[in-house]
Chains A and B, each alone.
Chain A
Amino acid sequence: MVAVTEHERAATGESLRLVLTLVKREVRDTLRDWRIVVPIIILTLFFPALMSFVANMALGWVARYGGPIIGEQMLSFLLMVVGFFPISVSLAIALETFVGEKERSSLEPLLATPLTDTQLYLGKTLAAMLPPLSAAYLGIIVYLVGLYFVKGWTPPPALLLLVVLLTTVEGLVMISSAVVVSSQTTSVRAANLLASFIIIPAALLIQGEAVIMFWADYSVLWWIVLFLAVVDIILVRMGIRIFNREELLGREIDRLDAASLWRKFCGYLRWERWFFGLDLQGESGERMPAWLRWLGTIGGLYGRDVPAILRRSWLALAVVVIGLLYSVCIGYALAARYQLPPEMLQLEHISAEAFTEFPAVDWLPAFTVWGVLANNVRSLLLAALLAVFSFGTLAVALLMVPLAIVFFFVTQAAYVGYSPALFFAAFVLPHGLLELPAATIATALAVRLGAAFTSPPRGMTVSDGWLWALADFVKVFVALVVPLLALAAAVEVHVTPYVVVWAFGG
């Protein structure tokens, strides 16, 4: 165990002092703005009191029609709503955090203080979180006190804890997102426009939670709490990582410069020619024969560039491999839980023709080389697209699903009495040897596409980091993944069925 030195302790204390100084100032400033304070007061005092009155009325009304359970659930639902409303209104505080200061020219003096980027970001984020969360808790208290007096209702402690935690993590996610928006835009107007990307998903989430609450399956809500807590950690980490005081001060206008982005992307797509030590760069390279330059281009791509991309994608590759190992466990666990009747898995009479019968299921591709290849390419591209909007997580999840299914059947085969190793070796391994690495690599690069938003490489802006990741994805997808998938598709169609028949068929 490493001992914490006196110096480190002092540094941490100093750091905390600076963050708290900033928080204190920001909160004090916020509470002096009547445009923020008045709506918060209305939403924390008047609105929850009104809600408790309305809830009491609604309870009496539904009881008349024999639906007291709905009334009970409505009390819980409104408990959640009174906490949510002050947070959504207080989003303005978080949206102003950086860009508001920039517009008022008070940011530069702050940036010239010894505050580090992390201290500045954390201080601002904490300050943006405190008033809305306090307002939300106060709203919940007012609502509960009101209900206690008019109805004598108190929520079960577990429900109260759930709603408080749900309100907290939702608030944190919304505010953290708003602070990220504020640190990346150039005007309060732009930040407010982008706020709809926070408010709409949050409102949809609340609606989903409301349905779950009426359904009274609180275990799902606990999972949502966990999910939102993870999202919040990602958002805060992302905010700190992409916070750039230079960008914040230097950017004057939000402009989408497609030509410049395209140039950058093309720049990242390029690679150096290489062919076993021959000097193929610059003027000397241009003097070489065309066929040698062409070999150099291919050699550079496969000998240098693709390996370099794979090396710098090691973390994403590790994440995907861990996900795949986990999917194996999921497949095994599901098979143990839902065992198929043995007659469903009779392989003695399987024939090569059985494989071509799958297209009878509409959504499966035709069992041809082209059909399988097109399906795999489409799936991996869709995964990459989803990765962009989900910090890479959905890409991994999409790859985990088929592997979990495969291992579900491998385990089922074992239950029926077949060798699971033989089952796997016959059904998956022939084409899987090519398809699995291809899909793993493509997914890892898709993960990088999503992760580029949360942690762009050092010295790069978010857009630069993302374009770099996209160029890497395109190069590896075209140069490595598609050829591997094509070979895998050919093996899957022309070899795998015969291996299966040879191993199991009659």
Chain B
Amino acid sequence: MSRSGRRRRRRLAAAGVALLAMTLLGAAAGQLVTRTPPAHGRYGIRQVPGGERLELLGGRVDLPSLAEALARDGQSRILTRQDGAWLLSRSLVVRPGASLQVRNTTLRLRSEPRRFVGLEARGGRLEITDSTVTSWAPGTGRPDDLAGDGRAWVLARDGSVLNVARSRLERLGYDRAERSGVAWRTRRTSGTVSRSVFAGNWDGAHLHGGRNLQIEGNVFRHNARHGMVLAAGCTNATVRDNQSYANDGHGLVVAQGCNDVTLTGNEVHDNRRSGVDLDGAVGLRLSANVVYGNELGVHVHGRARAVVADANRLTANRLDGLRVSSGATQVGASRNLIDFNHRAGVFLAEGAAEIGPANRLLDNEMGVWLSSDARGAEVTGNSIEANVLDGVHLAGARVGLVRGNTIRGNRKAAFSVAVRGSARPFLRRNRVVGNPVRERLRVEGHPTG
């Protein structure tokens, strides 16, 4: 190779190295540019009964910058770093105009008997993303499992925004209204809850007063009371694709004053009480939910009104699949598969409900139970088959209307009745086939309540 050729090669190599270096430098510079600059917030420490409270008064801060500011001011004990996690030892309140980001980290809230702290947004903004927030008992080096003597909590109220995404909020709260775990309280407070886990809290998540809440893809489990509660003032909420199980109370609760709620695609199972408890709410739509292994599958009560349950699966609940009681009205259920419930597929205790069309009530102990107070009930166009005892139980002489159903292959009778002959008006109005008898008198085993 000639000398000029070698020179040319050297030049080319040098140019390549320079290009590579520039690329690397540019990338690094870009990284620096995209990093969030340290935020400047304002905070104060307020003396309150029982100690002091840290308050964020303005600015948008995250935990490292807050810890830095506190350390600068000689308050480093309030927020310390241990084992890769933050430990908050004073209650922290986010005031209007302030915003706290909890992102990609673990935040432990000190929680010992008589000394436990809260993370509260009171008019401010709290974002919990890709993080874990738990109570923490430094003495034991683990989360605080005992709620009986008070426990750390997370709260948003007074028009705050609390957004929780892809996070775990565990072992929080105790039996006190605003400190029930993770709570959204008062009107104008809002937020979104998505793809997060609420476990071991008093209430998994308690939402009160928010509008347009979106609760999607979360897990509410092993909470001491309910999995998720939508309480008064939560209007136009959507609860979609969540799981709620193994809670000591209900799986999902929609309470009085909570209107226009859609529950869809949720899986609610193995809760000690009801899977879905609809207590006095108005305008609820349930669809494509799978509810099993609870005491009651879906319980509509407390004068709840305008409830539509369509295409749900209510199965293997310890009492009833769907129970309508205490004056609930305008309850409609259609296209549901209601099976394997240990008492009744549908139990109409008191109220007005239209059961049908196209529900399938199979393999329950009783297909439908009409109490003597269920005079406003209509059971029409359903398939009531293969139930362990009877297809339909009539607990009174004239209870509701049963027509257009296929009542087939129930193991004791198509109808069981408390008053002999009370099934007679319905025998010709339904397709009654393959039952050992068409009507039997059943006096034993009346369920209570």
Indicate, yes or no, whether A interacts with B: no
